Structure 1
Amino acid sequence: MLATESQPRNFGSFNLPHVELSFNIIGQILPADHGYALYSAIAHLCPELHQQKWLSLQTVMGIPDGQGKIYLTDKSRLRVRLSGDMVPMVYLLAGKQLKIGTHSIRLSIPQIFMLQPASRLRSRIVTIKGFQEPELFLDAAKRQLDALSIQGTVSIPLNDKKEPDRKAIKIKSYTVVGFGLEVRNLCDEDSIKLQTAGIGGKRRMGCGVFALTRGEV
């Protein structure tokens, strides 16, 4: 998804609008729905990150067990997208242990990558308040892209049942509904803009963060 690894220790060398920190993870299991718990654990360790609107987290990928958990693999990563000048703040998570529900993970020293353009991007889940039906949600997503002056073909992927890919995340005592979203036919400038800005809400909890789809280089 990303390229051009930089040396993490020389913060003064960064001259980038946005980059992505990728932390290797030491651990075995996480809840499948861990976006809110992950954000809470990070904010507990680094209170200055709480309510930072620029912070975008991608939830950790793993192998689902079909019972609400995922098994972590050697490819599981915590990815944090942020402006280059904010790197030192998030870099403080290196080596820290995060308590997520009844499970714990430890973060490695992160690698730092530049965002790379691609004509097709996908978000695992996008949430837009007040829009929980596929057609209305898609129209709302298009309006948000228009507001960012991003041109592309927007669609909701289908799940295994050939239905719109509806997803939900739990935040404290309530559930937020969203959909997977794919944007195609992006120019390079709009691709970087979408990866930088995202759309929808709850980006600190893994929603509305766009990345390259499988097979993109």
Structure 2
Amino acid sequence: MTTSATVSASTAARETLEPFVELKFPVRGTQLPADHNYGLYAALVHQIPELRQQHDISILTIPGFGDRQGKISLTSDSCIRIRVPISKIPLAYQLAGKPIAIGKHPINIGIPQVSVLHPSANLRARIVTIKGYMQSEPFLAAARRQLSNLDISAKISIPADRSGNPSRKTLKIKRYTIVGFTTEISGLSDEDSIQLQRCGLGGKRHMGCGIFLPCKEDRDV
């Protein structure tokens, strides 16, 4: 049972956390691999080596129009979204105006818009990876434990894919394939929603994993 003292301690701990913001960098280019999680991270680290040590920074992959053959076409809405504590805005802002290459695909990064995180009762991550959990039921149990560790109470689920199976996703990191699942969290309080958007679930958040968006914003590309 959660005591009032525990709840108070949890609330106090959250209030001492540094506020997070999201930098939304427009990008210009033509085409990218649909699985560019690692490629994007490697390109950004090449520009800012310090990113490698920043465990509280999350980097969303770039949305585009998928061709279902392993590529996406970039659109006027394509962007890189990076979540950072306020004190680390200057670090991420160094990307503004930089040209980078993701594999053989060049893109140009524009000047970002900076916004605060807004609560939403229903959040979705395109892929969440938890090491050692590659089947849906054990994965959900592990994800519930992580939510509990964040003092978040909400419903967690894996939506079905087009075949009616739990939506399983993969990403490649060099020679390795990482398995994860699309994950939805619903019934969040405003405070828990912000907490989840700050902290995420699972690993590989430098590579677009475990990062939650309001369901209406999520794009499955």
Shift of 1:117: 0.2
Determine if the alignment matches structure 1 residue 63 to structure 2 residue 65.
yes
Shift of 1:114: 0.4
Residue equivalent to 1:52: 54
Contact 2:28 2:78 in 1 (8 A): no
Residue equivalent to 1:107: 109
Kindly provide the CA deviation profile for residues 168-213 of structure 1, in whole angstroms up to 9, marking residues without a partner as x: 0100110100000000000000000000000100000000000111
| CA distance, structure 2, for counterparts of residue 27 and residue 90 of structure 1 | 20
Residue from 117, 138, 141 that aligns with 2:140:
138
State the one-letter code of the partner of 2:181: F
| CA distance, structure 2, for counterparts of residue 51 and residue 166 of structure 1 | 29
Determine if the alignment matches structure 1 residue 42 to structure 2 residue 17.
no
Q: Give me the TM-score of the superposition, normalised by structure 1.
A: 0.91
Determine if the alignment matches structure 1 residue 79 to structure 2 residue 78.
no
Residue equivalent to 1:7: none
| CA distance, structure 1, for counterparts of residue 111 and residue 204 of structure 2 | 26
SS in 2 for 1:113: strand
| CA distance, structure 1, for counterparts of residue 131 and residue 217 of structure 2 | 31
SS in 1 for 2:132: coil
Residue equivalent to 2:97: 95
Residue equivalent to 2:185: 183
Shift of 1:31: 0.5
Report how many residues are paired.
Answer: 201
SS in 1 for 2:69: coil
Percentage of pairs with the same residue: 50
State the one-letter code of the partner of 2:100: L
| CA distance, structure 2, for counterparts of residue 211 and residue 66 of structure 1 | 23
| CA distance, structure 1, for counterparts of residue 199 and residue 159 of structure 2 | 21
More helix by share: 2
Extract unaligned runs of 5+ from structure 1: 1-15
Shift of 1:215: 7.2
Give the 4+ runs in structure 1 shifted more than 4 A. none
Q: Give me the TM-score of the superposition, normalised by structure 2.
A: 0.89
Kindly provide the CA deviation profile for residues 124-164 of structure 1, in whole angstroms up to 9, marking residues without a partner as x: 00000000000010010000000000010000011111110
SS in 1 for 2:81: strand
Shift of 1:51: 2.9
Kindly provide the CA deviation profile for residues 53-82 of structure 1, in whole angstroms up to 9, marking residues without a partner as x: 011011111111111110011111100001
SS in 2 for 1:180: strand
| CA distance, structure 2, for counterparts of residue 208 and residue 25 of structure 1 | 22
